[in-house]
Amino acid sequence: SLENDSNLTGLLLQQGSTSACLKPMRAHLSILAHTRRAPYNAPCCGPLTLGLPMGILAGKRVLIVGVASARSIAWGIAQAMFREGAELTYTYQTERLGERVLEMAEATGSSLCLPLDVAEDQAIMGMYEALAAQWNSVDAIVHSVAFAPRDQLAGNYLESVTREGFRIAHDISSYSFAALAKHGRQLLSPSSALLTLSYLGAVRAIPNYNVMGPAKASLEANVRFMAAELGATGTRVNAISAGPIKTLAAAGISGFRSMLQTVANATPIRRNVTIEDVGNAAAFLCSDLAAGITGEILYVDGGYSRVGMSC
Minimum distance from residue 167 beta carbon to ligand 0WE (Å): 14
From residue 8, alpha-carbon distances to 17, 150, 197, 282 in Å are 15, 28, 23, 21
Give contact residues for ligand NAD (rule: CB under 6 A): 66-69, 72-74, 93, 116-119, 144-147, 172, 197, 199, 242, 244-245, 247-250
Shortest reach from residue 286's CB to ligand 0WE, in Å: 21
Q: Catalytic residue among 128, 199, 299, 304, which? A: 199
- Cβ at position 232, least distance to ligand NAD in Å: 27
DSSP the chain: -TTTTSHHHHHHHTTSSGGGSHHHHHHHHHHHHHHPPPPTT--TTSTTTTTPPPPTTTT-EEEEE---STT-HHHHHHHHHHHTT-EEEEEESSHHHHHHHHHHHHHTT---EEE--TT-HHHHHHHHHHHHTT-S-EEEEEE------GGGGSS-HHHH--HHHHHHHHIIIIIHHHHHHHHHGGGEEEEEEEEEEE-GGGTS--TTTTTHHHHHHHHHHHHHHHHHHHGGGTEEEEEEEEPP--SGGGTT-TTHHHHHHHHHHHSTTSS---HHHHHHHHHHHHSGGGTT--S-EEEESTTGGG-S---
38/92 with CB nearer ligand NAD: 92
- Asked if 146 touches ligand 0WE (CB under 6 A), the answer is yes
Tell me how far apart the alpha carbons of residues 206 and 64 are, in angstroms, rounded to a whole number: 28
Is residue 219 part of the contact set for ligand 0WE (CB under 6 A)?
no
- Under the binding rule (CB under 6 A), the answer on residue 253 touching ligand 0WE is yes
Alpha-carbon distance 3 to 70, whole Å?
Answer: 6
Q: Give the active site residue among 90, 92, 128, 209.
A: 209
Minimum Å gap between C-beta 235 and ligand NAD is 20
Residues 170-209 within binding reach of ligand 0WE (CB under 6 A):
199, 206, 208-209
Q: Which does 66 bind (CB under 5 to 8 A by kind): ligand NAD, ligand 0WE, none?
A: ligand NAD
> Nearest distance from residue 78's CB to ligand 0WE, in Å?
19
Which does residue 304 bind out of ligand NAD, ligand 0WE, none, counting CB within 5 to 8 angstroms by kind?
none
Q: Any catalytic annotation for residue 92?
A: no
Out of ligand NAD, ligand 0WE, none, what residue 296 binds, judged by CB under 5 to 8 A for its kind, is none
Binding flag, residue 244, ligand 0WE (CB under 6 A): yes
The reply to whether 209 belongs to the active site is yes
153 binds, among ligand NAD, ligand 0WE, none (CB under 5 to 8 A by kind): ligand 0WE
Q: Does 128 bind ligand 0WE (CB under 6 A)?
A: no
Residues of this chain that interact with ligand 0WE (CB under 6 A) are: 146-148, 150, 153, 199, 206, 208-209, 212, 244, 249-250, 253
Show which residues are catalytic: 199, 209
